[in-house]
Each structure stands twice: as C-alpha cells, then as structure tokens.
Structure 1
Amino acid sequence: MTNYLFQLKMNFKRIMLRNKAFFFFDMMLPTIFYLLYTKILTVGIPTSTLPTWNENYLISMMVYSCMLGGIITTSNTLLDDQTSHFNLFIALKPISKIQYYSAMAIVFLCLNLISSLIICLVGIWVNHISISLPLLAVLILINLIGTIPLILLGALTALAKNPNTVNLLNNLIVFPLAIISGLWWPIQMMPTWLQKIGKIMPTYQLSLLDQNLLHKSTINFSAILIIFAWFIAIALLFFVIGNIQKRKGLSIQ
C-alpha cells in the first residue's frame, strides 16, 4: 500500500503540477469554446431557448474537456512513460501492472474532475445557470464515471508506441468523435445517417445522460448500458493487444 500511495503522489506531481499543456488544452480550450458559443455565436437562437442552449452546451463542453483529458492526455502521458523508460523504472519496483494503470487512472479522473468543475463554475457565473449543489455533485460524479471508457481508449491508443502514430490516432478519434457526437453543435444539424452513427458513440450517450439528469433529474439507464458496453469492448481490445505485444516482446512489463 505504501508503494502504491507513493506512486499516486509521484503521478500527481509529474502529471498535474508540471503539465502546463493540460491546463490549456483540457480546461482552457473547452472553456473558451463555451464562452464563444454562449456569448458571441448566439445569432438566430431565440431568447426563450437561450437558457436551455447554455445548459446543454455546458454539458457538451464538460464531456469534451473530459474527452481531451481522457484520450489525449492519457495517451501522451503513457507514451512519454514508454519513451522515457519510466515504465521500466516502475517495472523494477514492487508494483504490479494493474497498480500502475489504476494509479494513473485515478490521476486522470482527478484531472477530469478539475476541468468539469471549472466549466460548471464558468457556466454558473457567466450565464447564471441555476443548479443546486447536490445536483452539481451528482452530475460531475456521473460524468467522471462515464469518462472511464475514454481514459481506457487513451491507454489503448498509447499501445501504438510511436509518437507520430499516437498523435495521428488522437486526431482521428477526438475531433471526429466530438463532431458526430453533437458536442460542438446540435446533432440534429447532421445528415440522418451520420446521426445514427453519432448516437451510439459513448460521448453522445454521456452528454445525453448528463442532460437528462440536469433537466429532468432522471437517469437514462439505456445510456448507461451503452457506455458500459463501450467500456467492455475497449477493455477487451486493450487486453488482447497488450498480450499480443507482450508475447512479441514489445512490452517490458
């Protein structure tokens, strides 16, 4: 337990306190988008529906910030551990591979917690969104749990082990996923066939889950099942690829 706590402490310092890119990309970028789309690019939106738009876009940017942190920050951090041979250092310590990844996941969840909380506070302060403290806590908690498949997807991307390939995969996953999930603009603006694809994505289901909780105070259990199915699928793929790489001698753990 002492070794595990030491690992957590070390990860917090090197990822959270020394990672300036996180504060810009994972927090500032979604916050800038939120202010841009709720304070400037609101032409054509009826005044009566503007509060709902502000609330829905708040949810979208919460999910988007967690997607940036879950996929890009996770994959780049794990890749950096591989290229700097930090994971070799971990392998020589009395800590298992499961402990290594779980400790990293806890840190990434904390990063997503910070970004979600900041965007919520911006929405409450700037757009005067009314939300009770208990509901805010539940909303952020559910959002964090729902981003676990995204963190796992980032870990899966890092298995490419090549910086160029990882960056390419991140770009091919994050931005198209944000678009077809309706995080940047309403999914109803897309072609019907693209809407069908977007609606099965975990990010769309997470935003739908959050919106139902915010507007109706109800939980969408079908969204939970779809997100869980994505978690199982990504976990299995990560396990299979990781074992293949280990058998081929591409993994040091």
Structure 2
Amino acid sequence: MNSFIYQININFKRIILRNKRFFLFDMMLPIIFYLLYSKVLVNGIPQADLKTWQMNYLISMIIYSCLLGSIITVANTLLEDKTSHFDILSRLTPLPRWQYYLSRILIFMLLNLISAIVICLVGILVNHLTLPIANWSLIILISVLGTTPLIFMGILISLANNPATVNLLNNIVVFPLAIISGLWWPITMMPKWLQSIGKLTPTFEISNIDQSILHGTIINSHYILGIILWLMIIVVITLLITKYQKHKELIIE
C-alpha cells in the first residue's frame, strides 16, 4: 500500500503540478470558450434566459474540460511514459501492472476534478451563478465520474505507441465528439441524423444527467446505462489490444 501511495504522489507531481499544458489547454481553453459565449457573445439572448444559458453552457464547458483532460492529456502522458522509458521503470517495480494504470487513473480523475471546480468558480465569480452547494457538488462529481470511459479511451489511444498517430487519433476523437454531442453549441442546431449519433455519445449522456440535476428533473436511467456500456466496451477493447501487443512482443522476442 505504501508503494502504491508513493506512486500516486510521484504521478501527482508529474502530471498535475509540473504539467503546464494541463493549465494552459485543458483548463484555460474551456474557460475562454465559456467567457466568450456567456459574457461577450450574448446579444441575441433575452435577458430573462441569460442566466439559464450561462448555467447550461457552464456544464458543457465542465464536460469539455474533462474531455480534453481524459483523452488528450491521458494519451499524451502515457505515450511520454513509453518514449521516456518511465513505463519500463514502472515495470521493474514490485507493483502489479493494474496498479500502474490505477494510480494514473486516480490522478487523471483528480485533474478533471480540479478543472471542474475552477470552471464552476469562474461561473460563480464572473456571472454570479447560484446553486445549492449540494447541486454544485453533485454536478462536479457526476462530470468527473462520468468521464471514466473517456479516460479509458485515452488509454486506448495511447496504445498506438506513435506520437503522430496518437495526436491524429486525439483530434479525430475529441473535437468531433465535442461538436456532435452539443458541447460547443446546442445539439438541436444540427441535422436530425447527426443528432441521433450525438445522443449516443458519452459526453451527451453526462451532459443530460448534469442538466437533470441542474433543473431538478428525474435523471433518465438510459443515460446512466449508456455510460456504463461505453465503459465496458472500451475497457474490453483496451484489454484485448493490450493482450495482443504482449503476445506480439513475445513472438518477436
């Protein structure tokens, strides 16, 4: 247990405290989007609906920040571990391999938690948004836990083991996912066929659960099951690819 905690401590310093890209990209980009679309470009929004729009878009940017942190940061961090041979060093420790990934998953979830809290504070301080502390806490918790499938998606992308391929896959997955799931603008603005695809994405499902908490409506259990299904599918695919790569390494050796 002490070795596991020590590894978490090392990863906390590496991935969060010394990771300037996290603060500049995963956190600042969603904050800039939020300030732009909730404070500056609001001329066409009636004053009576402004607070609702500011709160709804805040939720979208929380999820968008978690999306960036869960896929791009996860994939790039794990790839850097391999290219810098930190991955090999971790293999030499007595800790089992699953603890290597678990320690990183916990840190990535903490990273998402930090960004979600900061974005909420921006909404409170800049747009004077008010919610009971229980609602704020639940929205943040759901956003962080709900992005677990996205963390495994980042792990899956990192298995490409090539910087160019990983960056390409990051862009192919993250930005279309943000668009079609309605994080950048309302999903109702898209064609019906694209809406149907967007409503199947984990980011759309997380957003709708958060919206239900925000507006005090009943949470649709289909969205919870959808996130669990996404998690199961991605974990199975990740395990299969990892097993195949190990088998391939043994053959080459």
Query: Which residue identity is paired with 1:90?
Result: S
Structure 2 matches for 1:109-148, cutoff 5 A?
Answer: 109-148=109-148
Structure 2 matches for 1:177-216, cutoff 5 A?
Answer: 177-216=177-216
Q: Percent identity?
A: 55
TM-superposed deviation, 1:218: 3.6
Query: Quick one: distance in 2 between partners of 1:204 and 1:144?
Result: 14
Query: Which residue identity is paired with 1:46?
Result: P
Name the residue aligned to 1:107.
Answer: 107
| CA root-mean-square deviation | 1.2
Structure 2 matches for 1:163-178, cutoff 5 A?
Answer: 163-178=163-178
TM-superposed deviation, 1:43: 2.5
Query: Which residue identity is paired with 2:117?
Result: L
Name the residue aligned to 2:160.
Answer: 160
Query: Quick one: distance in 2 between partners of 1:217 and 1:121?
Result: 24
Deviations 1:115-140 (A, max 9, x none): 00011111111111111111111111
Name the residue aligned to 1:53.
Answer: 53
Number of aligned residue pairs: give it: 251
Query: Which residue identity is paired with 2:214?
Result: L
Paired residue secondary structure (1:238): helix
Paired residue secondary structure (2:196): helix
Query: Quick one: distance in 1 between partners of 2:125 and 2:53?
Result: 16
Query: Quick one: distance in 1 between partners of 2:220 and 2:106?
Result: 25
Name the residue aligned to 2:68.
Answer: 68
Query: Which residue identity is paired with 1:191?
Result: P
TM-superposed deviation, 1:217: 5.3
Structure 2 matches for 1:207-226, cutoff 5 A?
Answer: 207-216=207-216, 218-226=218-226
Query: Which residue identity is paired with 1:108?
Result: F
Distance 1:179 1:250, change over 3 A: farther
Query: Which residue identity is paired with 1:48?
Result: A
TM-superposed deviation, 1:250: 8.0
TM-superposed deviation, 1:34: 0.2
Query: Quick one: distance in 2 between partners of 1:36 and 1:139?
Result: 22
User: Are 1:26 and 2:37 matched, yes or no?
Assistant: no
Paired residue secondary structure (2:249): coil
Query: Which residue identity is paired with 1:69?
Result: G
TM-superposed deviation, 1:77: 0.3
User: Are 1:80 and 2:44 matched, yes or no?
Assistant: no
Name the residue aligned to 1:93.
Answer: 93
Name the residue aligned to 2:35.
Answer: 35
Query: Which residue identity is paired with 2:67?
Result: M
TM-superposed deviation, 1:49: 1.4
Query: Quick one: distance in 1 between partners of 2:19 and 2:213?
Result: 32
Q: Which moved more, 1:176-185 or 1:138-147?
A: 138-147
TM-superposed deviation, 1:24: 0.8
TM-superposed deviation, 1:48: 1.6
Query: Quick one: distance in 1 between partners of 2:250 and 2:223?
Result: 36
Name the residue aligned to 1:2.
Answer: 2
Q: Which runs of 5+ in 1 are unaligned?
A: none
Q: Which runs of 5+ in 2 are unaligned?
A: none
Query: Quick one: distance in 1 between partners of 2:125 and 2:144?
Result: 22
